[in-house]
Structures are given as C-alpha cells and as structure tokens.
Amino acid sequence: MALINDSVLSDADFTKLSAFIYTNYGIKLPITKKTMLQSRLLARLKVNNIDSFKEYCQFVLSGKAGEAEIVNMIDLVSTNKTDFYRESAHFDFMKAVALPEFAENNPGKKMNIWSSASSSGEEAYTIAIVISEFLEGNKKFDFSVFGTDISTRILEKASLGIYPLERVDVIPLAQKRKYLLKGKDPEKPMVRIIPELRAKTKFERLNLMDNSYNVPKEFDIVFCRNVLIYFDRETQEKVINKLCMHLKNGGYFFLGHSESVSGINVPLRQIKPTIFERI
C-alpha cells in the first residue's frame, strides 16, 4: 500500500479537481472545502497505490482512472443529508390533494413517484408509507416509488432499508409498528422497512448532470428537494426541464424549502410554496 509522501492537496490541484467535479456532476466545492476533500480522498490514494494528491489529480483528469474510480470519488464528496418526513408539508399535500385526486381520476391505475435525489432512502420510504396509509382499508390504486442518486454507496443503504432506531423517531408509533421490523441486537438497535414496502421501491444511480435521463416511465409526482441548491441557476433550469420531461401534464413537482424556480424558464405553475404543477 502506498505511503502518502505529499499529504497536502495544493490549491492548484484542488481547483482542477473541483472544476472537474462541478462540470461533470454539478457539485460546487469552494476553497473552504479543500481540507474536507483532502481527507476524504486520502483513502482513494491508498486504494490506487498513489503517492501524492498531485498524482491522483493527474490520474483522474487524464481519463486513466476509469468510471469505477470516478464513481468512488463522487461517492466521497457528495452530500447525503435526509430524514423521514422531512419538510412534512409536501406529504400533507399528498394526503390532502394529490392522492385523492389521483384516486378519483385514475381508478385502477398505477401511481408512479420519482424521488430524484433519494440519498439513503428516507424520502422514498416516507412516500411509500404515506400512500400505504391513504390506501389502507380501501385499495384504490397500486403505486411504485423510484429513487435515484449519484452515490452508489448511499443507494446500497437505501435498497437495504435498514436504519438506526433513532433515525425513525419522527415516524408515528402506529406506523412504526406497521412498516418497520425491529432488529434483535440490543446494543445496536436498528430497524428495517418491511418487505412489502421495499418491494414498492426501486433505486438506481443517476447523475442529474447527464444530458438526458434514462428513467423507466412518466411520473405522477417528482420530488427534487435540497439538491438544486448545489447548482447555479443555469444548471437548475436545465435539470428541472429534464426532470419535467418525465413528469405527466398536471403532475406535481416538489422542491426543497430553500429552492425556487424564480427567474428560470420551466414548465411549472406554483400551487403553494415549493409545490408546483406541470403545465
């Protein structure tokens, strides 16, 4: 295994790497993130038997690194922060408006929802719980939840659906009993989403910076929350327009609480703050 002789990431190499990451993946890394990038990439130097950050930078930028290494690098620098029932107003809107509307207008059809920045899966499973609660005792339609993220590492966690017990504190007790299985290790209390809900979800890797999105179907609802804040306005406009290409006319689009479509040209009409309709 390599010994890291040049253990400091230079400003010049940081600038090159951060420009590459932003151009290809939309993740902005200001110079204040240099120490973070340096510490996270140290493991990649060791794995690749590379002695310095300068050499690693050349390895990545020359194209010699290969797709697998780029994916591993992006896994380390991408931010994955999410919670169950995060920004609950969106789920309240689903229960009060979107789900009853779909049930009335699409009897017997399947509702498809896309969690486009799904991180470790809490958003996707919250969606599945909300719909399951709505359908309980009176099955009006079937549904599926499609989750995507740029990080393969975090998507593996999402697919497993296993979380520390404290992560699910926000879920009401009655729903915990219905939708979560408790682990048997008292020293490391964990829960797992029940198989019936996991069967309703599917997770795949997707880079929102891609020119087009290879996704399986048109969606009735698209969640794109708390990821656009990392993009400039031009990139935000492109990403939203590409997402809307897979959103049905009249379908709903949810943004994060600190995001907006103000000043950009997208086919959305605002219904409520951060809630939009495809037009």
For tokens 């048109």, what's the residue?
A: 218
**Buried/exposed code over 223-240 (b: 16+ C-beta within 10 A; e: otherwise):** bbbbbbebbeeebbbbbb
Catalytic entry in 13, 75, 149, 220: 149
Sequence-distant (≥ 6) Cβ neighbours of residue 105 within 8 angstroms: none
Tokens read off for 4: 């890291």
d(CA 16, CA 75): 18
> Across the chain, which distance is largest between two alpha carbons, in Å?
66
Question: Is 185 known to be catalytic?
Answer: no
Question: Is 220 known to be catalytic?
Answer: no
d(CA 56, CA 77): 15
Catalytic entry in 6, 40, 51, 167: 40
What residues pair up with 223 in beta bridges, in sequence order?
115, 254
d(CA 262, CA 200): 34
Axis crossing angle, helix 66-77 with helix 53-61, rounded to the nearest 10: 120
Residue 104 DSSP class: H
Catalytic residue set: 40, 149
